Amino acid sequence: MTSKQPKYEYISSAKLPTRMGDFRIHGFVELSGQEHVALSYGTWNEGDVVPIRIHSECLTGDALFSTRCDCGYQLEKAMQNVVDHGFGVILYLRQEGRGIGLLNKIRAYNLQDSGMDTVEANEHLGFDADLRSYDICKLMLETLKVTKVELMTNNPRKLKALDDLGIEIVSRTPIDHGMTKDNKNYLKTKTEKLGHVFDPHLFD
């Protein structure tokens, strides 16, 4: 009998100085070849509740400063939050456009420019509204010796995903959305169609 090949593998870690503080970056790879990283800040003891953010890659928002989503703002806010807390983790998952990929996301943006919302655009291209998987989070957190988390998110689906993986969620902390005139409708769609939790008066 052959042993089952693991789906994910930890690769290496290194220092990562940033504008917010000195993090460490940890590399992981799926059997498919898809790469992911975790950023850790500070130290913690076994059993400590560690603030974490699960952040899906968004090249346009994270690196190109787009304001048509809230991704870049949330990533920066989450990194600052863990620095202010003294320790914490950002799980940065390479699943652009809620899992449809960068070029398909640009196609979806084109459809949104013509009047569709973000869910309608993804579905028009033949995709589900959200194709993301969070399975690798378990290995990432185990590697970093995190067993209890305070999850920074507005997305209840991430709570269920971690709970299904057997990760103890002690609390959920809302993450600032950074609403702009360009992403207000996007945030409204995330609330109405994807179940994200925002202040009910946000869209008044």
- Given the residues 132, 135, 163, 176, the one annotated as active site: 132
Say whether 56 counts as a known binding-site residue: yes
Concerning whether 130 is annotated as a catalytic residue, the answer is yes
Please say whether the beta carbons of 176 and 78 come within 8 A.
Answer: no
Q: How far is CA 96 from CA 58, 132, 185, in A?
A: 5, 9, 20
Q: Which two tokens stand for residue 163?
A: 């709970």
Say whether 58 counts as a known binding-site residue: yes
| DSSP letter for each residue of 164-190 | HTT-EEEEEE-------TTTHHHHHHH
Please say whether the beta carbons of 171 and 148 come within 8 A.
Answer: no
- Given the residues 24, 62, 117, 130, the one annotated as active site: 130
Say whether 97 counts as a known binding-site residue: yes
What is the distance between the alpha carbons of residues 154 and 199, in angstroms, rounded to a whole number?
10
Say whether 98 counts as a known binding-site residue: yes
Say whether 55 counts as a known binding-site residue: yes
Say whether 137 counts as a known binding-site residue: no
Say whether 118 counts as a known binding-site residue: yes
Which residue carries 């042993």 as its tokens? Answer: 3
β-pairing, 22-30 vs 35-41, is antiparallel
Concerning whether 157 is annotated as a catalytic residue, the answer is no
Say whether 158 counts as a known binding-site residue: yes
Residues making up the annotated binding site for Zn(2+) are 58, 69, 71
Residues making up the annotated binding site for GTP are 53-57, 74, 96-98, 118, 153, 158
Catalytic residues: 130, 132
Residues making up the annotated binding site are 53-58, 69, 71, 74, 96-98, 118, 153, 158
